[in-house]
Chain A
Amino acid sequence: MTRAEPPTLTYAFAVCRGDGLTDPAEPLAELPGLGTGAPVRTLAAGPLTAVVQDVPAAGYGEAALRRRLSDGAELERCARAHHAVITAASALAPAVPLPLATVYLDDGRVREALGDRQTSLLTALDRIAGRVEWGVKVYAPTGPPPEAAPAPSDGPGSGRAYLDRVRTRQRGREQRHTLALRAAERVDTVVRGLAVAARRLRPHGVEVTGKHRTHVLNAAYLLDLGRERELRAALASLRHDEADVRIELSGPWVPYSFVDGGITDAGATP
């Protein structure tokens, strides 16, 4: 081994317009990024600028990266680092987030790849400029329904009374679920009214939500900056009206869910 320094790869976080993010982007340089010791830097590529960091080939090659991301703690570390750089970049200029683990052999390859996708990247940047993403999740409780006192007529030990109780409980559950779905639709309609685009995300299973509640709406909305107050007011009023479901808001986010062309379903009904 005569090589003076170990080979490095270029990890790409996000893409901005060239005139939006000028070099040197000091707030970025202060970020640890993936913690490789190399600074987070900008890389000019025609009309675009990529936010990148040098990473050691030994730690971020194909096999190493696969191992890394299969480890829960390491996956979390990488996801948080990735997200932190993207968020910081988008505070400086509209930024299209790239997927976790977008790694190139060198800077030249980043320029090439961005050149190939120049049009769609510029379109995406136009779409998200001046806008942020908000997440709205609606949950229905799944606990036992508030049970009416059992009718004493058949006596406590009767089989028929038991079956009745089971049936009533089952019916109650179904009814509550239907009501929760309707409430979720009303929430979606209201928030869509404020948004320029909306997208339904995959609802979480019980592994994530916990068994005591069901996910009935997982949606992302693209809102113009400055509509936050309206959004919060609308949600406050929805929470008041839809008391049976729980409505959670998260954000503002970099518009992760709205950078890919053709994915918005602004007018679609589920």
Chain B
Amino acid sequence: MSALPRASELGLIACTVCGLVCRNVPGDARLDGDGVGDDMACPRCGTTLHRRKPNSYVRTWALLIAAFILYIPANVLPIMRTASLNDVDDNTIISGVVELWRAGSPNLAVIVFTASIVVPVLKFLALGTLLVSSQQGSGWARVQRAKLYRLVELIGYWSMLDVFVVALLTALVRFSVLSLVEPLPGVIFFGLTVVLTMLASMSFDPRLIWDGKDTDD
């Protein structure tokens, strides 16, 4: 046993909802995240206890892939139509950023670019990396990978930014004849992408990063 004992080695389980440390029968419970043999409920809050989130790899992969598939129409399709007397303009996420850069404020353009493009792409790459490296039981850069996961969780929901922008502009700009703003299907795909990536990062279990075969002292 290493200097820092792990709960799974001591036959302890921490409840994911209320944090209570519970003693469980030590022995054959498996570490691969499929939750086999864990059917104890937390005595304090009643949540089913798992050593690792159940089916963490399969669920996270499924949600991540689904999110990625939706991310394509989210970027290709326009998210917003602005129409005035003389022209109709369909904006995609990227063209919105470019327009904001040229006509509005470059600072905000950078913020929108970060929230709508950098954050989702970073989430795909980061979660993909975490899944592959953990499934291989890799001991590579564990502390950094653990930090990467916490970063993904922290910034995830900021991607909703552009969805709120479209919603607010739609409600505001309704000078019927002169101009109007309409949401287009891209924004629906984008909103769903954000929700799915959030669900994906929630279903990944960071403890799997440390479950590799080699010891880590």
Asked if A and B are interacting partners, one says no
Name B's A-contacting residues (CB within 8 A). none
